[in-house]
Amino acid sequence: MFATAPLRVVAVSAGLSSPSSTRLLADRLAEATRERLAADQDRAVEVQVVELRDLAVSIANHLVTGFPPADLRDAIDAVTGADGLIAVSPVFTASYSGLFKSFFDLIENTALTGKPVLIAATGGTPRHSLVLDHAMRPLFAYLRAVTLPTSVYAASEDWGAPGDEYAEGLPSRIRRAGGELASAVTGRTVSGATRAATLDDGEDAVVPFAQQLADLRVN
Amino acid sequence: MQFGIFTVGDVTPDPTTGRTPSEHERIKATLAIARKAEEVGLDVFATGEHHNPPFVPSSPTTTLGYIAARTENLILSTSTTLITTNDPVKIAEDYATLQHLADGRVDLMMGRGNTGPVYPWFGKDIRQGIPLAIENYALLHKLWREDVVDWEGKFRTPLQSFTSTPRPLDGVPPFVWHGSIRSPEIAEQAAYYGDGFFHNNIFWPMEHTKKMVDLYRRRYAHYGHGTAEQAIVGLGGQVFMRKNSQDAVREFRPYFDNAPVYGHGPSLEDFTRETPLTVGSPQEVVERTLTFRDAVGDYQRQLFLMDHAGLPLKTVLEQLDLLGEEVVPVLRKEFAALRPAGVPDAPVHPAVTAARAATAPKEV
Is residue A71 within 8 A of residue A58, CB to CB? The reply is yes
Q: What homologous superfamily does CATH list for B2-359? A: Luciferase-like domain (3.20.20.30)
Contact B185/A207, CB-based, under 8 Å?
yes
Q: What is the pLDDT of residue B205?
A: 92
Question: Count of A–B CB contacts within 8 Å?
Answer: 81
Residues of A in contact with B135 (CB under 8 A): 216, 218
Bridge partner list, B179 = B198
Neighbours of A210 (CB within 10 A): 9
Alpha carbons A160 and A168: distance in angstroms, whole number: 9
Contact A209/B189, CB-based, under 8 Å?
yes
Residue of chain A minimizing CA distance to B182: A199
Reported as half-sphere exposure (CB side, CA atoms, 13 A), residue A152 has a value of: 32
ipTM value of the model? Answer: 0.77
**Residue A157 CA, distance from chain mean position:** 25
Residue of chain B minimizing CA distance to A57: B266
Is residue B212 within 8 A of residue A197, CB to CB? The reply is no
Residues of B in contact with A197 (CB under 8 A): 184
Neighbours of B150 (CB within 10 A): 11
Is residue B34 within 8 A of residue B105, CB to CB? The reply is no
Is residue B106 within 8 A of residue B349, CB to CB? The reply is yes
- pLDDT digits over B317-346, tens only? 999 999 999 999 999 999 999 999 999 999
How far is B252 from chain A, CA to nearest CA, in Å? 18
In angstroms, the Cα distances linking B221 to B190, B193, B226, B230 are 12, 11, 5, 8
**CB neighbours of B69 closer than 8 A, spacing ≥ 6?**
B101
Provide DSSP, B338-359: HPPTTPPPPP--HHHHHHHHHH
Dihedral, B79, B85, B88, B90 alpha carbons, nearest 10: -90
Contact B204/A67, CB-based, under 8 Å?
yes
Alpha carbons B329 and B1: distance in angstroms, whole number: 11
pLDDT over 90 for what percent of chain B? 92
Contact B215/A218, CB-based, under 8 Å?
no
Residue of chain A minimizing CA distance to B265: A61
Question: pLDDT-derived band of residue A167, with 50, 70 and 90 as boundaries?
Answer: very low
Contact A64/B219, CB-based, under 8 Å?
no
Task: Tell me if the bond preceding A19 is cis, omega within 30° of 0.
Answer: yes
- For chain B, the residues whose C-beta falls within 8 A of a C-beta of chain A are 130-131, 134-135, 138, 153-154, 182, 184-185, 187-189, 191-192, 203-205, 208, 211-212, 214-215, 218-219, 222-223, 261-262, 264-266, 270-271, 274-275
Dihedral, B84, B89, B90, B96 alpha carbons, nearest 10: 120
Q: Per the confidence metrics, is the pTM higher than 0.80? A: yes
Contact A64/B135, CB-based, under 8 Å?
no
Task: Give the amino acid at B211.
Answer: K
C-alpha angle A45-A48-A49 in degrees, rounded to nearest 5? 140
Is residue B280 within 8 A of residue B261, CB to CB? The reply is no
How confident is the prediction for chain B on average, in pLDDT? 95
How far is A50 from chain B, CA to nearest CA, in Å? 21
Q: Closest by alpha carbon to A118, among A199, A216, A37? A: A37
Question: pLDDT-derived band of residue A1, with 50, 70 and 90 as boundaries?
Answer: very low
How far is A11 from chain B, CA to nearest CA, in Å? 27
Query: Which domains are seen in chain A, by residue range?
Result: 7-192 (3.40.50.360)
Q: What is the pLDDT of residue A77?
A: 96
- pLDDT digits over A79-114, tens only? 999 999 999 999 999 999 999 999 999 999 999 999
Residues of B in contact with A215 (CB under 8 A): 131
